[in-house]
A and B are shown apart, each in its own frame.
Chain A
Amino acid sequence: MDLSLATFAGAALCIGLGAVGSALGEGLTAGRAAEAIARQPQAAPVILRTMLVGQAVAESASIFALVVALLLLFGPDSGPLLRGVALFSAGLCMGAGAFGPGYGSGLPSAAACTAVGRNPARAPRINTTMLVSQAVAQTPSIFALLVAFLLMFRSQPPEFSLAGAAALLGAAIAAGVSATGPGIGAGFAGAAACDGTARRPDRAPLILRTMLVGQAVSQSTSVYGLVVALVLLYVV
């Protein structure tokens, strides 16, 4: 049957939801960078560099959403009904999964802009902390992407079953929505670490380590989301 309704709706949800978080995070970063430059105009080039690098990484969650949306738009347009449900779920999963990590990885870059403005000599250290924290904050969106790809590319049985459709949707919600909290939480930790690095650059390794452990632990709930999604896809 014709699946274009499912793929179009999925693609729209995917990029529509997925763009929100990154946009918020990047806007926050730009605002903080403007503030920092107003306070320290002579440090403008350093602040600008931090802002651009931070925004580029914060963007990656919404780029994942774009990739999934494009694959849905130019992908298969006919097949059994269950495949349509799977394609729609893939869009929902990636869209919901990009919000938290996108916004969350904007928080460290915003804090890093302020921090670099306060202590431009320590910009490399602060940038390292920012990049590491953003990379970890992106992790939940990578999980959502993994589940979205599984949903898109696994073949579905030809006959429709309500339980099968519910399992696909449930997997999308489990992996997608569960990325929100850990993404934002990891962003909080990263922001505090960037701030701390500017205050006490001599303690940067210690702060970075604490941040990494804290972020990793706060991410375990998104890993549970991934596990439930995989169970719903493979075991049920």
Chain B
Amino acid sequence: MDITGADLVRAAALLGAGIAMGFGAIGPGIGEGFAAGKACEGIARAPEHANLLTRTMLVGQAVSESTGIYALVVALLLIFVV
């Protein structure tokens, strides 16, 4: 079995895609969970502001999700472009 440089690059790109998405998902997952937890706490304390709290939570989560989306983009680029 002979392995050429191109094979090596392709293999590294595919493995890299898995690593990018796998580890890239950890931070956003925990961070968005924090936001959701704080929103629940807030609603228990001030139920009359539930709509505002939910909206704030969703906006905050959308922003912290962006790093997860970057990871997805990098993974897909590694698979389909490299």
Contacts and interface: CB of A to CB of B under 8 A. Distances in A.
Interface of A: 96, 100, 104, 140, 160-163, 165-167, 169-193, 195-197, 199-200, 203, 206-207, 210-211, 213-215, 217-222, 224-225, 227-229, 231-232, 235-236
A187 B36 CA distance: 10
Given A166-B10, A177-B23, A203-B43, 6 more contacts: A173-B22, A196-B40, A218-B33, A222-B25, A222-B29, A224-B69
Given A166-B15, A170-B15, A232-B79, A214 B22 contact: no
A104 to B, nearest CB: 8
Contact of B79 (A219, A224, A231): A231
A206 B8 CA distance: 53
Interface string B14-55: 111111011111111111111111111101110100100110
Contacts of B24: 178, 221
B3 A174 contact: no
Contacts of B1: 160
Nearest to A181: B29
A210 B25 contact: no
Interface residues of B, number: 54
A162 B4 CA distance: 10
Kindly list the 7 A-B residue pairs having the minimum CB-CB distance in the complex, ordered from nearest: A185-B33, A214-B36, A170-B18, A181-B29, A196-B44, A218-B32, A177-B22
A224 B26 CA distance: 12
Contact of A225 (B22, B30, B33, B53): B22
Contacts of A211: 36, 40
B41 A196 contact: yes
A181 B27 contact: yes
B21 A225 contact: yes
B17 A210 contact: no
B9 to A, nearest CB: 9
Nearest to A178: B25
Contacts of B43: 196, 203, 206-207, 210
A208 to B, nearest CB: 9
Contacts of B31: 185, 218
Contacts of A179: 25
A228 B72 contact: yes
B14 A180 contact: no
Given A207-B40, A210-B36, A174 B29 contact: no
A211 B22 CA distance: 24
Nearest to A171: B18
Given A162-B8, A189-B40, A214-B35, A224 B29 contact: no
A182 B17 contact: no
Given A213-B54, A220-B65, A221-B65, A184 B18 contact: no
